A and B are shown apart, each in its own frame.
With several copies, the nearest count.
Chain A
Amino acid sequence: MAKLETKGIVKYFKHESHNLMALGGVDLKVEDGDFVCLVGPSGCGKSTFLRIIAGLESPDEGQVIFDGKPVTTTGPERIMVFQEGALFPWLRVQDNVEFGLKMAGIPKEERSQISKRYLDMMQLTKFADFFTYQLSTGMKQRVAIARALVMDPDVLLMDEPFAALDAQTRDLLLVEMQLIWEKTKKTILFVTHNVAEAVVLGTKVAVFSNRPSKIKKQISIDFKRPRLTEDENLLGLQQEILSELRPEVKKIK
């Protein structure tokens, strides 16, 4: 049984004059421990798809099935990491990381034990008392990931988490991300518009077609880790994915 499955997800958006069909029946199966990267032309509905899985939006047709049961609301087993991080500026780093635990009513001491572990993992221990405006963009992103991991979700949903980073910081986090995944064996869905990023991270890459979007192609990647963006072995895969993407991007214009 797949860990997570979507069946025929359809989503419309109302615009002034007409309804826009963003997702046109998306079917995806994700096995436990998969690291699935989703790529596709801009505006095809990748974020929407992730939000539907998280339960933040509801599909017009189709189902999200988690561990064999359909889900319709948010749940602690499916946690999202937003592109902008969406950290709370009124909380210190540690309180940001503990936010979900606090909501769950876990007592203060236990919370700080748990958060300590993840702050360590993310090399943020020194910055536990900082406010978010005192952090660099890369550090913010690490806090956002720690905040999600603390919830110990089965599935981590990541929406272009590295898009705002400079190349150096991104390369660093790409390596860290692989280590985290190997350590925690989480199931991860990772949206990116950067094909190089996708082939470095994913065990699978799913390519979205243009609107109304479906999954056009899935490619498995088996290379040894940690992979680096410079890896020449990955170039062929990148080319393959790009050649799938190109006609979709052109359709937009």
Chain B
Amino acid sequence: MKKNVLAKKIVFFTILVLVWQAISMSDVWPNNIFPSPYEVGEDLVYMAADGSLFFGIATSIMRLAVGLGIAIVGGVVLGIFMARVETVNQTIGSLVLGLQSIPSIAWVPLAILWFGLTDGGIIFVTAIGAIFAVTINTYTGVKNIDPHYVEAARNMGAKGTQLTTNVLIPAAFPYMITGFKQGWAFAWRGVIGAELLFSFLGLGFLLNVGRQLNDVSQVIAIMLVIMLIGMAVDGFIFKKIENKVMSRWGLR
């Protein structure tokens, strides 16, 4: 990042915080509705100091990782099946499109029913929120594979699993990355939403505690944390993978 861009950013965010502080100090809204950045910062420091913040982050990220992992594996397998076996596409495919439009939060009651109050339940909600985005993108990716790749590979003796791992998956990878990214966005929403409703550890739980105790500054503090983690994952993990894949495939 060039120096002057960084400077602009610093100035911008400083102004933002100052305006926020000014609004909260003026009496437009009482403090219980609109806390000051100072209070929010205090809450963050306090939660960091007693360790609950880091425990919450670790818990949420662990669940996210497992849930997203399941979604990726499951979605890729399902997507490949749908793309390669027409009957699977015609049957399960239409179900997938439907399930994809159920908000993951709607699964919470059933998750509690089926998994109880366990990490399993939250992971289920996370995974089911993300899996169909992965599935649909994998499906599109495999469908769009240049048929010459597949024919060349078959001609050179690839078949079955060999064909899948050596050709189908790498060839569909640029699309799959998009699916992973979308999946991650849904999974992150899913994990926070589920924790909020399950109220069983994690950042969503901390958000809920803030809410239950009508502590707005804790709510905002946790939202900031959620946002920072989201930015980090987007900016470091996905941007990197995407750039690498895109340049490797000669797409940019």
Taking a contact as CB atoms under 8 Å apart, the answer to whether B250 and A104 are in contact is no
Asked whether any CB of chain A lies closer than 8 Å to the CB of B203, the reply is no
Smallest CB-CB separation from B247: which chain A residue? A133
Interface size class, chain B: 20 to 34
Q: Which of B50-58, B115-123, B155-163 touches A?
A: B155-163
CA distance in complex: A100, B146 (Å) = 18
Asked whether any CB of chain B lies closer than 8 Å to the CB of A127, the reply is no
A to B contact number (C-beta, < 8 Å): 63
Asked whether any CB of chain B lies closer than 8 Å to the CB of A185, the reply is no
Interface residue SS majority, chain B:
helix
Taking a contact as CB atoms under 8 Å apart, the answer to whether A82 and B248 are in contact is no
Residues of B within 8 A of A76 (CB): 156-157
Smallest CB-CB separation from B152: which chain A residue? A86
CA distance in complex: A84, B171 (Å) = 16
Taking a contact as CB atoms under 8 Å apart, the answer to whether B157 and A88 are in contact is no
Interface size class, chain A: 20 to 34
Taking a contact as CB atoms under 8 Å apart, the answer to whether B156 and A99 are in contact is yes
Taking a contact as CB atoms under 8 Å apart, the answer to whether A86 and B156 are in contact is no
Asked whether any CB of chain B lies closer than 8 Å to the CB of A226, the reply is no
B49 CB, nearest partner CB in chain A, Å? 46
Taking a contact as CB atoms under 8 Å apart, the answer to whether B157 and A100 are in contact is yes
Smallest CB-CB separation from A81: which chain B residue? B152
Contact among A74, A80, A89 for B249, CB-based, below 8 A: A89
Asked whether any CB of chain A lies closer than 8 Å to the CB of B46, the reply is no
Asked whether any CB of chain A lies closer than 8 Å to the CB of B68, the reply is no
A74-B155 contact in complex given A82-B148, A84-B148, A90-B170, C-beta closer than 8 Å: yes
Contact among B151, B153, B247 for A99, CB-based, below 8 A: B153
Residues of B within 8 A of A167 (CB): none
A56-B151 contact in complex given A79-B156, A86-B146, A103-B162, C-beta closer than 8 Å: yes
Asked whether any CB of chain B lies closer than 8 Å to the CB of A181, the reply is no
Residues of B within 8 A of A147 (CB): 156
Q: Beta-carbon contacts of B153-188 to A below 8 Å, as 1s and 0s?
A: 111111000100011001101000000000000000
What is B's interface to A at a CB cutoff of 8 Å? 146, 148-149, 151-158, 162, 166-167, 170-171, 173, 247-250
Chain A to chain B: the 9 pairs with minimum beta-carbon distance, closest first: A133-B250, A100-B156, A86-B148, A90-B170, A103-B157, A86-B152, A103-B158, A89-B249, A82-B148
